[in-house]
Structure 1
Amino acid sequence: MIKAALAIFDEGCRVKPAGKLYLVIALLGVPLTLFEIWFALLGSMQPLTLAVVFVGVLYTTTFLTVSSTQKNRHLTLLDHALAVLSFACSVYFIFQTPRYVEWVAGISEFTALDLTSGAAFFLLTLELTRRCVGFGLSVVVYALLAYLFFGHQLSGVLAHREFTPAFFIEQMIISINGGIFSGPIQVVAAYVFLFILFGNFLAETGGGRFFFNLAALFAGRRVGGVSKVAVVSSGLFGMISGSPAADVMVTGSVNIPIMKKMGYSAVFAGAVEAVASTGGSLVPPVMGAVVFMMAEFTGIKYVDIAKSVVIVCLLYYASIYFQVHHRSARLGILGLPKEQIPSIGRVCRDGWLYAIPFALLIWLLLAGYTPGYAGALAVLSMIAVSWLRRETQITPRRFVAVCVNACCALGPLIAAVAAAGVVMGVLNLTGVTGKVSSVMLAITGGNPFFALIIAMMITVLLGMGMPVIAVYAMVAVLIAPMLVEMGLPVFEVHLFLVYYSVLSAITPPVAIAAYVASSIAEASPMAIGWQAVRLASVIFIIPFIFVYEPALLLKGDWRQILLTAATAFIGVYFFALGVEGWYKGALAWWHRVLLLAAGLFSVYPGWLFNIAGIILGGGLILTRHGAGLPLPAWARRNGTMK
């Protein structure tokens, strides 16, 4: 009975467009792409208009590419009807945007046609969320809707005033403080789409292979070279794609088979790819476009955010790099064969054309141009330089294919972000955010550290199976105000939430990056997910550190920044040794426990802890070189790593 009840939240099945369906999506996707580029470079219309056009097209294409249930692998008449209804409602909204921009709640007239089309579009949003995102987010949305419509019957702190359906629909369609077309969707429409498009053009022209060759040049010769190449190449591509799943699909199709061939288990190969791809959303300057959403919520300049996360990003990838190094040493896996490592000349010859749009993108962003302007010019430059080589040319046919693929891939993102807008609207109407803050203050006793732990758990749970941007948009409204109210800095709080929104992609049971990696590695997604968490174990601690030690975010005196960064990297190394259990041989269990403690002490804010951690960890490492004191008999047994 419970299973049957939960079945109503089952996701739909992806339908690959072909024939007439492909033509229909192309007729929608190509004009949308051109319109987005025009808007970014020359457009002066209201952001609401862009959002309505963007959402209308993508709702239509998503209903045509995602069936109603997993069992239905073909589109039905209902799917086509919902697509037509989505298009019709959005056309109506486009013509009404001049009214909506000047809207004054309670004064402007909300007509019957506004109500009808708004209600239809809201129901379409709920259905699209179910099809594309599934159980987790759908339950959150329906629970909040139940509270909104029936919460006035409650008593005490949970009670709120009564809302009519007409007023609710008005807020969901027109309000800028929460609703389908509010800030999150506008950011995705104005900025994120162009960066996803850039990533698709990059993949279409062979960018995945270029990143592999570039990483192989610098890391391929070292112990475990192939796994280190996977870490570097996945991080670089993930910076642009902004989607862990998309990154795993592009770079993992190259990296995972090679890792398996070199001797890594399928589970470990999939986990390395999953955790490295997930971290791409933390790599500046693009940060998978979530940085633009953070700038929207905090009012902090994009450039300031991108510069501040450099050390944190390096710590993320250093922790993975250290672990794969020692796992490779344990397995006896050396670097890539010499013939598989490209020369500098070959990398430059094959990849120089990718450097042009990348350099242009980074320069424009750092120079202060809008992300949309930078993304649009990067897309155009990518198309232009592709014609300098026959095999990379973006021909009209390939251009159409990229537009179609982008529209199909954006379905889950647009559904999740629209639903996040609904959640934001309900939270604002009912005042849930303030009530959550009161409850959290009571539970934690006003202790910020305990509040951060709860915030981490909520973010990871909400983020299971959801795009990073949508997760962050929800927790930025639900949790961030409470943490700031406790006295924590705004920037550190929002970056903390971004960090765990990203890590939710590798956290079981719904680890979306692990599920995609499992299809390539041919291994259990749960096993890959837990192995990914093990690889990222120290990474789950880092956000707590930078909240209390802002030097990790390049704040403060440069000497303090350098010393803090140095102790953090040392601590990450000790922790990686403890997790892997290998340094010039297998480590005993007590050796591993002490190394984990040394790692925690080294990254913990406070010089006494740092000095103690470095002495402890350094002493333990020296014992592996025979330079320490003789070990007691009980400690001479070597442990083995399971």
Structure 2
Amino acid sequence: MTGAESSKLTKPLQVFLACATVVMVGYQALTTWTTLHNAMEHYTTHLGLVLIIVAIDWSVRCTLLYDGARLLRWLAIAAAVVASVGAACGYLYVYAGDLEISQPFIEDHEFIIGLMIIIPIIVLTWIVWGWVLASICALCAIYFWLGHLLPGAFAGPEFRNFEVMSYIAGMGGPRGLYKYIPLSADTIFLLIVYGGLLTGTRVIDMFAEFGKAIGRLLRGGVAYSAIVASSLIGMVTGQAVANIVLSGSMTIPTMKRRGFTGEQAGAIECLASNGSQFLPPVMGLGAFLMAVILGISYFEVVTAAILPAILYVGIVGVGLYAMIQASPSIPYDIEEVDWPRIRWILPSFVVSFGALIVLLYMHYSGGKAGFWGVALILATAFLRPRQYRPELRELLDGLVKGVVAATKLALILTAIGIAVQMLITTGLGIRLGRLMIETSGDSLAIGLVLGMIISLFIGMGLPTPAAYSLIAIVVIPSLIDLGMPPLPAHFFGFYFAVYSSLTPPVAVGVLTAVRISGAGFMSTAWECLRLGGVGLLLPFMFVAFPNILDFPNIEIETWIASVLMLLSSYMLGVALYGHFRGELSAGERLFLLIGPVAFLTYLVLRDPWIAVISPGAFALFVVYRRKKTPDWLRRPSELGSIQYSPDDI
């Protein structure tokens, strides 16, 4: 098949994808308000549509990337996946009631039906999310079946074939691949579709105009607006890689045009998209997963995350300020701001997002909140003047982006359900936890360091929801056994699951960003460290000051520690970038490291005398630099006003 022939397939497949998208959104909207069938029939329908849409989306991408025999091979795989999923889900739908009654016993032919759904899930996981997650799912399924043959402590209990398939394929109940599907089907799907429509209704364009406005007041203002835009979209989509693709494709090129290097633009987008999973009031999939695992309300999780989220944004903000001050190539923005665009588009965002937040606050389901968010952003978009109204093609494109992002997250939930079910049913998760406790010698301090290392290792190459689900089984119970309260322990694990997408050697978030920015991988990862390095200490605040999760009842000691953390972050940023009212010497940069070191010591010892070291050292540094700075830099007004001509601009 030639390139011209492959391009002829793109349009029909895109139309097919758009039709499937509309059907999926219609089905989700309908089931939000009414019950069409019983729970397992509903989840089977949702699962089938998810897998088919993911396969069609991959087929569209294949026609753009490949031709010839390679394209035919991928299209054949996609067609086989669609056929297998359609047949298997059709059977599971028709016989859902019988399977529920007879579980865990299944007929011989139903073992084949189970394979017809599990194999496509692993194949699609490999295609979309990479070999790491797909390998984990496949190995967990194999261990479930053959783990009893292993020697020593890692030998698992022996299960009969029908038991293995019944548990992994979730036949008759919400187990295995069905374990977390209710989260997608009933809660987050329409929320993520809403996130896609933020691009389709030109809300991102509005934030670009805000960036120009900020840039006329502050150097590098476009970066601050990029953080806001990426954070708002990311807290809805709930997955760093998906958000970097969704918002970074616009924010990274914009920042590069405004004077940022590729490394700087990529790092800013990485930290904004990554941290958005930690930001209330939505927190993406993470908050819903944590609420389900802990057995508490979603609102309790979101409320607990308020102060940590403020600290995370503050850490990135002060790091960004230090970066901009050290980068003279980043100018003030001189472009005119399209204020009418802001005035007409802003109401769409405020009304829809405000309604979504209010409904979540009133304990409406995520599905209903997402429904009204989608409905209101579409309705208000059509009330704008013609020049600011999105075209139907833009809306459909935004809808497709949102649905594809939602189906890919649902695929994660399906795949990771297999691994989690194995860890629970075989008891392997408990055995791994005991090993961690024995290694730490019953010391919480050592357990925290081990927990951090293991969490970052588990998260390498995995999407955040998958990483957190595994950490919640392997690491977090051990921290609770060592004396850590459940909520801080889960926040500790979740934070490192989030941060693992930024840590080499894999760093999937950084890999995604550099594909857009064209910068180097390690240089972008290093830029991430310079921007938000102190953020790695934030999870340890949950241990030293567990009151940080008790918003609004925050104690004064916790507020003081929070301020010290922001100050230490700024001192680290200045030290790493080497600029504060001029270039810094090596000795001055080393002196500034007193801040983060003193803050780390304060977290361990909680001594109030140590708390004064960071502000004291910074005050001495500022006084020293003021004396060292030339008068003309301290009083630039004495140089007189600077006049610009049109030619200069």
What TM bracket, shorter-length normalisation? Answer: 0.7 to 0.9
Does the C-alpha gap of structure 1 residues 208 and 396 become closer, same or farther in structure 2, counting only changes over 3 Å? Answer: closer
Q: Which amino acid aligns with 2:546?
A: P
> 1 CA distance for matches of 2:334 and 2:284?
33
Q: Deviations over 1:361-417 (max 9, x none)?
A: 111111221121111111111121121123565776555544443444445433332
Equivalences for 1:322-471 in 2 at 5 Å?
322-333=318-329, 336-341=332-337, 343=339, 347-389=342-384, 390=386, 400-410=396-406, 412-471=408-467
Once structures 1 and 2 are overlaid, which stretch shifts more, 609-618 or 286-295?
Answer: 609-618
Specify which of 302, 316, 320 is matched with residue 320 of structure 1: 316
Specify which of 582, 594, 599 is matched with residue 585 of structure 1: 582
Q: Which residue of 2 aligns with 1:601?
A: 598
Q: Deviations over 1:80-111 (max 9, x none)?
A: 12211111111211223334445553xxx422
Asked if the contact 1:223–1:333 (Cα under 8 Å) also holds between the matched residues in 2, the reply is no
**Residue 476 (structure 1) aligned with residue 504 (structure 2):** no
Once structures 1 and 2 are overlaid, which stretch shifts more, 32-41 or 604-613?
Answer: 604-613
Does the C-alpha gap of structure 1 residues 536 and 363 become closer, same or farther in structure 2, counting only changes over 3 Å? Answer: same
**Residue 66 (structure 1) aligned with residue 58 (structure 2):** yes
Q: Which residue of 2 aligns with 1:563?
A: 560
Asked if the contact 1:427–1:433 (Cα under 8 Å) also holds between the matched residues in 2, the reply is yes
Equivalences for 1:68-87 in 2 at 5 Å?
72-74=70-72, 75-87=74-86
Q: Which residue of 2 aligns with 1:166?
A: 162
> 1 CA distance for matches of 2:208 and 2:40?
40
Does the C-alpha gap of structure 1 residues 483 and 26 become closer, same or farther in structure 2, counting only changes over 3 Å? Answer: same
Q: Deviations over 1:33-69 (max 9, x none)?
A: 1111122233375443332212111212223333699
Give SS of 2:534's match.
coil
Asked if the contact 1:270–1:521 (Cα under 8 Å) also holds between the matched residues in 2, the reply is yes
Equivalences for 1:288-299 in 2 at 5 Å?
288-299=284-295
> 1 CA distance for matches of 2:82 and 2:120?
9
Structure 1 residue 443: deviation in Å? 1.1
> 2 CA distance for matches of 1:97 and 1:406?
29
Name the Cα RMSD after superposition: 2.9
> 1 CA distance for matches of 2:618 and 2:458?
36
Asked if the contact 1:412–1:467 (Cα under 8 Å) also holds between the matched residues in 2, the reply is no
Does the C-alpha gap of structure 1 residues 241 and 102 become closer, same or farther in structure 2, counting only changes over 3 Å? Answer: same
Q: Which amino acid aligns with 1:93?
A: L
Specify which of 17, 20, 27 is matched with residue 12 of structure 2: 20
> 2 CA distance for matches of 1:319 and 1:219?
20
**Residue 179 (structure 1) aligned with residue 176 (structure 2):** yes
Q: Deviations over 1:249-274 (max 9, x none)?
A: 34333332333233322212221122
Give SS of 2:332's match.
coil
Equivalences for 1:122-137 in 2 at 5 Å?
122-137=118-133
Asked if the contact 1:16–1:65 (Cα under 8 Å) also holds between the matched residues in 2, the reply is no
> 2 CA distance for matches of 1:228 and 1:599?
24
**Residue 53 (structure 1) aligned with residue 48 (structure 2):** no
Q: Which amino acid aligns with 1:24?
A: F
Give SS of 1:538's match.
helix
> 1 CA distance for matches of 2:216 and 2:362?
34
Q: Which amino acid aligns with 1:449?
A: A
Q: Deviations over 1:344-369 (max 9, x none)?
A: x7633331222110110111111221
> 2 CA distance for matches of 1:300 and 1:218?
40
Asked if the contact 1:177–1:425 (Cα under 8 Å) also holds between the matched residues in 2, the reply is no
Specify which of 110, 113, 124 is matched with residue 106 of structure 2: 110
> 2 CA distance for matches of 1:73 and 1:459?
38
Specify which of 531, 535, 551 is matched with residue 535 of structure 1: 531
Q: Which residue of 2 aligns with 1:638?
A: none
> 2 CA distance for matches of 1:103 and 1:538?
54
Q: Which amino acid aligns with 1:573?
A: Y
> 2 CA distance for matches of 1:15 and 1:543?
49
**Residue 43 (structure 1) aligned with residue 39 (structure 2):** no
Q: Which residue of 2 aligns with 1:634?
A: none
> 2 CA distance for matches of 1:83 and 1:63?
7
Does the C-alpha gap of structure 1 residues 167 and 581 become closer, same or farther in structure 2, counting only changes over 3 Å? Answer: same
Structure 1 residue 168: deviation in Å? 0.6
Q: Which amino acid aligns with 1:77?
A: A
Does the C-alpha gap of structure 1 residues 294 and 16 become closer, same or farther in structure 2, counting only changes over 3 Å? Answer: farther
> 1 CA distance for matches of 2:453 and 2:294?
22
Structure 1 residue 286: deviation in Å? 0.8
Asked if the contact 1:17–1:65 (Cα under 8 Å) also holds between the matched residues in 2, the reply is no
Equivalences for 1:603-618 in 2 at 5 Å?
604-605=602-603, 606=606, 607-618=608-619
Q: Which residue of 2 aligns with 1:233?
A: 229
Asked if the contact 1:122–1:169 (Cα under 8 Å) also holds between the matched residues in 2, the reply is no
Task: Specify every segment of 5 or more residues in structure 1 that has no aligned partner in the other structure, as ranges.
Answer: 1-13, 629-642
Structure 1 residue 423: deviation in Å? 0.4
Does the C-alpha gap of structure 1 residues 476 and 100 become closer, same or farther in structure 2, counting only changes over 3 Å? Answer: farther
Q: Which residue of 2 aligns with 1:631?
A: none
Aligned pair count?
610
Asked if the contact 2:195–2:237 (Cα under 8 Å) also holds between the matched residues in 1, the reply is yes
Specify which of 185, 188, 191 is matched with residue 189 of structure 1: 185
Give SS of 1:337's match.
coil
Asked if the contact 2:345–2:381 (Cα under 8 Å) also holds between the matched residues in 1, the reply is no
Q: Which amino acid aligns with 1:79?
A: A
Equivalences for 1:195-234 in 2 at 5 Å?
195-218=191-214, 221-234=217-230
Structure 1 residue 204: deviation in Å? 0.4
Structure 1 residue 334: deviation in Å? 5.9
> 2 CA distance for matches of 1:402 and 1:262?
26
Asked if the contact 2:18–2:400 (Cα under 8 Å) also holds between the matched residues in 1, the reply is yes
Specify which of 266, 269, 272 is matched with residue 276 of structure 1: 272
Q: Which amino acid aligns with 2:359?
A: L
Structure 1 residue 627: deviation in Å? 9.0
Asked if the contact 1:191–1:371 (Cα under 8 Å) also holds between the matched residues in 2, the reply is yes
Structure 1 residue 114: deviation in Å? 2.5
Asked if the contact 2:260–2:330 (Cα under 8 Å) also holds between the matched residues in 1, the reply is no
Q: Which residue of 1 aligns with 2:621?
A: 620
> 2 CA distance for matches of 1:58 and 1:431?
30
Q: Which amino acid aligns with 1:20?
A: P
Q: Deviations over 1:527-549 (max 9, x none)?
A: 32332233221111111122321
Does the C-alpha gap of structure 1 residues 265 and 492 become closer, same or farther in structure 2, counting only changes over 3 Å? Answer: same
Does the C-alpha gap of structure 1 residues 215 and 297 become closer, same or farther in structure 2, counting only changes over 3 Å? Answer: farther
> 2 CA distance for matches of 1:234 and 1:318?
15
Structure 1 residue 219: deviation in Å? 6.3
> 1 CA distance for matches of 2:364 and 2:525?
39
Task: Specify every segment of 5 or more residues in structure 2 that has no aligned partner in the other structure, as ranges.
Answer: 1-5, 630-649
Structure 1 residue 561: deviation in Å? 4.0
Asked if the contact 2:235–2:280 (Cα under 8 Å) also holds between the matched residues in 1, the reply is yes
Structure 1 residue 284: deviation in Å? 0.9
Once structures 1 and 2 are overlaid, which stretch shifts more, 418-427 or 160-169?
Answer: 160-169
Specify which of 499, 505, 509 is matched with residue 495 of structure 2: 499
The TM-score normalised by the length of structure 2 is 0.86
Equivalences for 1:516-531 in 2 at 5 Å?
516-531=512-527
The TM-score normalised by the length of structure 1 is 0.87
Once structures 1 and 2 are overlaid, which stretch shifts more, 441-450 or 577-586?
Answer: 577-586
Q: Deviations over 1:580-637 (max 9, x none)?
A: 2221122233333332332242363322321223222332233222299xxxxxxxxx
> 1 CA distance for matches of 2:479 and 2:38?
33
Q: Which amino acid aligns with 1:582?
A: H
Q: Which amino acid aligns with 2:158?
A: E
Once structures 1 and 2 are overlaid, which stretch shifts more, 392-401 or 71-80?
Answer: 392-401
